[in-house]
Amino acid sequence: MHSIPGRRLIMGLFLIFLLLPIYWLVNMSFKTNAEIVSTMTLWPHAPTLQHYKRIFTDESWYSGYINSLEYVILNTIISISVALPAAYAFSRYRFLGDKHLFFWLLSNRMAPAAVYALPFFNLYSAIGLFDTPWAVALAHCIFNVPLAVWILEGFVSGVPREIDETAFLDGYSFPRFFIRILVPLIASGIGVAAFFCFMFSWVELLLARTLTSVQTKPIAAIMTRTVSAAGMDWGLLAAAGVLTIIPGALVIWFVRNYIARGFALGRV
């Protein structure tokens, strides 16, 4: 009764629709540029690793990945550490302006990055953080902190209140209770929230590109360089693209049951 007639066919077709463009990118990343431009082949006839080799040996390429990872990790750490106490407060207490604050956080998750690009540029230039990982990490907090609060709030609410009360009766101080009891209990929730902070920071380009120039260019911005006088270096572009998909593809298995929750701001 759960599902509809012909579901296998529908699912199959949809999955093919999802995988085909990705396959094409992977396919191209293993072809030589001559093969890409001259013939239409469904799989690489002369498979080559030259594009990947170029990325891993050319510093201007692989440094892009390191730069991206740097601000993404910084952002994840900041987001989770400020969001944890707030999630606990929203889950357990009622206080002045709590509902308004909650809505304000939501509205920031929805704010268009394009609106903030220019003011962020001015702000971080003024305080001397422009072109450092900190600028991007802090800028990405605007959508990741609300997300982390919303996800963690759901997990904290899943912890019975009796546990808090017993711990306090046993003489635990608040910080000690928080670190020794609460954090281990919601460890999986922290993992899920961290994953989504990582992901959303990783996929964002507009702010990351605006706030960096030379030192900390993210990989996404470096990818635009494949256009040269000799034309597009399609194979290199494809290989760089494939490498940006890998982090997500690697951890997706561990969070597969929480994907909906993460994208729905913990509201499912």
Partner 1 sequence: MDKTINQKAWFLVLPVFLVVAFSAVLPLMTVVNYSMQDTFGNNQFFWNGVGWFKELLDPSTDLGGRFLASLGRNLFFSLVILAIEVPLGIVVALSMPRQGWTVAACLVILALPLLIPWNVVGTIWQIFGRPDIGLLGYVLNAIGIDYNYVSNDIDAWVTVIVMDVWHWTSLVALLCYAGLKSIPEAYYQAAQIDGASRWAVFKAIQLPKMNRVLLIAVLLRFMDSFMIYTEPFVVTGGGPGNSTTFVSIELVKIALGQFDLGKAAALSLVYNLIILIVCWIFYTVMTNAGNERKPQEGAV
DSSP 46-62: S---HHHHHHHH-HHHH
Are 140 and 207 contacting, i.e. CB atoms less than 8 angstroms apart? Answer: yes
Are 167 and 181 contacting, i.e. CB atoms less than 8 angstroms apart? Answer: yes
3-state secondary structure of 39: coil
Q: What does residue 252 show for φ and ψ, rounded to 5 degrees?
A: -55, -35
* CA torsion, ordered 219, 224, 230, 231, to nearest 10 deg: 130
Burial of residue 196 (CB within 10 Å: 0-12, 13-18, 19+) is buried
Distance CA 208, CA 34 (A): 33
Least distance (Å) between residue 216 CB and partner 1: 16
Q: Using the minimum distance from each CB to partner 1, give the nearer residue, 115 or 229.
A: 115
Report how far Cα 91 is from the mean position of its chain's Cα atoms.
25
Amino acid at 173: S
Are 98 and 90 contacting, i.e. CB atoms less than 8 angstroms apart? Answer: yes
Amino acid at 60: S
CA-based nearest residue to 70, from 9, 21, 135, 143: 135
Least distance (Å) between residue 72 CB and partner 1: 11
Are 151 and 266 contacting, i.e. CB atoms less than 8 angstroms apart? Answer: yes
